[in-house]
Every structure is written in structure tokens, then in C-alpha cells.
A = this chain, B = another copy of it.
Amino acid sequence: MKAAILGVSGYTGQLLLRILLDHPGITEIIPVSTSKQGKSLSIIDPGLGCRSLEKVQATAEKAVSIKKALNYKVDVVFAALPHLKSAELYAPFLGKAVIIDLSADLRIKDALLFKQAYGVRPPRQDLLEQAVYGLCEWYNKDIKGTDIIANPGCYTTASLLPLLPLCKQGIVKDHIIINAVSGISGAGKKVKEYLLFCERTENVGAYSPGRTHRHALEIEAELNMINKDFSLLFTPHLAPLCRGIATTIVVQSTKEISVQELMDIYQQYYGTFPFIGLRGEVIPQTKEVWGSNRCDIGWHIEEDMVMIFSVIDNLIKGAAGQAVQNMNIRFGIDETTGLKVHNEL
């Protein structure tokens, strides 16, 4: 199977490249970069090592332009591109390959909600119906049947995976309060002052609270599909680590519920799923999933309040890993191929 990676020099693109290099189902990779086309991968990304990259022989181990990439008949295109530019840039591949869009362009189907989040209407409204929201554990069947997958956001994945079973099961009263702490790589490789090492080390704090963060609206979009009105308050925080998201979710339960009953509900939804770790009363920590495609979930009950805790690696389950999981599902490959269940220590 042949894959193109659009945006190969960003953090997500770099990780996609690594996962696909080790993925037994991938025989050829076309690395694409607008800013670094023509340059050798091992210069763009010295962590690859200077040994030959067998799967990238077609382009002589160089990043190429989108136009050039079209010359290679690829089966799947990973678009790790900026929001609002993504759908436009991969347009030439539509109908020719399965598109996995890691941007937000196709994630929110409600045009109004999209506009609230991104300030403009969805850039390709015509694709929205066909596009499947690639939250693997929930849309498996739809993913199998589509050629356009909207890969979920990192905060969204970390929030929806622990929330959906309880919301669907009618356990959750109206208010949902999500606090999430993210590593700095969530902001991408943007060269901004606030992302400098000296600005972020020994520094932690909230930003974009409530509906001012786009992922809040993406979470809302998915919760809206459940037949109940939820009121969501989402607050992201930055902490001085590179990778990892931890969420702490507080909801009021609609009825008395025990720790074991929560385990039963989660087991019912996720019992056989390879990438969900159910931890019960043990609160998961981000390091435990660093480098893995897992989402670990723990919980704590205090009277009628239920606290749920989840962790993911924002670049893996929150981006590149889930994208490959989507590819695996779409192409009928075993879901775990090329992805790690365990962390990197």
C-alpha cells in the first residue's frame, strides 16, 4: 500500500512518517512539504538517521511538492496541514485515494458551529456529508465505508473517549466540566514567542477557556448527536512537557452509581478494544501512554459527583496514531498494526 504524507516536517507529519516506515502494510511513502520540497528527509529530520529509507525511494528520499506527489498513485493520503488550508491542498487527491485529514476542516458538520470555532464557514461544505469523524472506537463501521476521514482533535479524543459511554448510558446530568492539561507539542511546531523553551519551562496555566477554544466546539458537536442537552465547560492548560494530555472531567450523575458499575459500563463499550485501558480507581498519568496509541481511563466517585480521568499521547492517539488506526480500519488491516499498546517508558 502506498501512502502520501502532506506536511511531513511538522510534528504530526514526522510521527506519521516514523509509524508508516515501520508499518508492515506500507510499501511506499511519498513525503510532501510545501516549505521544504526538494530537500532530503534526513536533513529535514535528522532523527531518521542517515541510513537508506527504503520506502521513500520513489522520491529519492526527498520531500516533494503536492503537484509532484500526484504523479505517484497512492492509496492513502495523510493531510497533516493547517486548519482552513488542508481541504484545499489535498483536493487534487479526492477520488483517487482515501484521504485522512488531520486538520479540523471536516470535523464539525454544523456550519454555524464551525464558524463559531474557526471564524469562517467550512472550507469544503460539499465534502462534509461524505466525511466520517474518525473517532475509531465509535465510528468503526462508518470509517470502513468512506474515502474521507476527519481525524479528531487531541483534546477532543481525550475528552470524548471517557465521556461518551457515560453520556450514552444516561448517567450524566446536564453539566460537563472538562479540565485538560496538554504538553506543548499540541501547539505544533509554530515559531512563536510563547512556545520558546524559556517561556514554557517552570510555567503552567489555563488558556482559551470555555467556548473560546475550538476543541470545545468540536466536543460539543459530538455531544450534540446524543439525544440530550449538555452544557459543556472546557478549559485547556499548558504544562511544561512535550507530549501528553490529561483530562479531569467532572459530571453529576443522574443516579447513585458505584465504581464497579462504571467499570461495567466501560467494559460494555470498550471491553475488547485494544487501545482503551480501563484503570478503575487508579488515576492514569500521561507518561504511562507516552508513545502509545492508548487512551487510559480512571474514575472516582464522591457522592453524586463522578470524576473521570483520561490520558493520551496527543501526537499519537491524539493525531498520528489515530490517523494510522483509521487507515488500518479503512483498509481492513488489523487495527493495531504499526501502533504501540505500551508506552516508551
Contacts and interface: CB of A to CB of B under 8 A. Distances in A.
Number of copies of chain A assembled together:
4
B47 A202 contact: no
A11 B343 CA distance: 13
B205 A196 contact: no
18 contacts: A47-B288, A49-B292, A49-B294, A49-B296, A179-B235, A183-B198, A184-B196, A185-B198, A189-B193, A189-B196, A195-B196, A196-B196, A205-B285, A205-B309, A209-B300, A209-B307, A235-B248, A240-B241
Contacts of A242: 197-198, 201-202
Nearest to A342: B48
Nearest to A193: B191
A268 to B, nearest CB: 16
Given A18-B342, A47-B345, A237-B181, A302 B196 contact: no
Nearest to A307: B209
Nearest to A22: B340
A226 to B, nearest CB: 20
A277 B51 CA distance: 7
B197 A240 contact: yes
A78 to B, nearest CB: 16
Contacts of A189: 193, 196, 198
A185 B49 CA distance: 23
Given A210-B300, A235-B307, A200 B197 contact: yes
A47 B342 contact: yes
B204 A285 contact: yes
A37 B212 CA distance: 30
A102 interface: no
A315 interface: yes
Interface of A: 11, 14-15, 18, 21-22, 46-51, 177, 179, 181, 183-185, 189, 191-193, 195-207, 209-212, 231, 233, 235, 237, 239-244, 246, 248, 250, 274, 277-279, 282-292, 294, 296, 300, 302, 305, 307, 309, 311, 315, 340-345
Contacts of A291: 291, 344
A34 B82 CA distance: 32
A341 B51 contact: yes
Given A177-B177, A183-B202, A199-B287, 4 more contacts: A21-B342, A183-B204, A203-B286, A210-B302
Of listed A49, A185, A212, A345, residue having the most chain B CB within 10 A? A345
A305 to B, nearest CB: 5
Interface pairs A-B: 8 shortest CB-CB? A205-B285, A47-B343, A203-B287, A210-B302, A239-B239, A179-B179, A197-B200, A184-B197
A115 to B, nearest CB: 18
Contact of A240 (B233, B240, B300, B345): B240
